[in-house]
Amino acid sequence: MRFTKDPEKAAALAERVLLAARRKIASSNGAQSFSGWLYSILREECATPLRARSAPSTVQPLRAAEEVP
């Protein structure tokens, strides 16, 4: 809950992290501790929505002066 400040968002984040960990368990090479590996997945899951919010929206091309009403 420290990352989200909201119990419902924290529960949703925990679910996403556990599902991501399940998908990525084969890629764990044992070079880092399990908790460190899981924390890196947590950081990635937290950053994904932030990146989506900060991504530029589609930009509309400028119209020529003749086309402007």
For residues 17 and 42, the answer to whether their CB atoms sit within 8 Å is yes
| Per-residue pLDDT, 51 | 56
Q: Could you read off the pLDDT of 13-41 as tens digits, one per residue?
A: 889 889 999 998 887 777 788 888 888 88
| Per-residue pLDDT, 56 | 57
CA distances, 6 to each of 11, 13, 53, 59 (Å): 9, 10, 19, 33
Report helix, strand or coil for 44: helix
Q: Which residue has the higher pLDDT, 15 or 45?
A: 15
Instruction: Give 50's pLDDT tier (boundaries 50, 70, 90).
Output: low
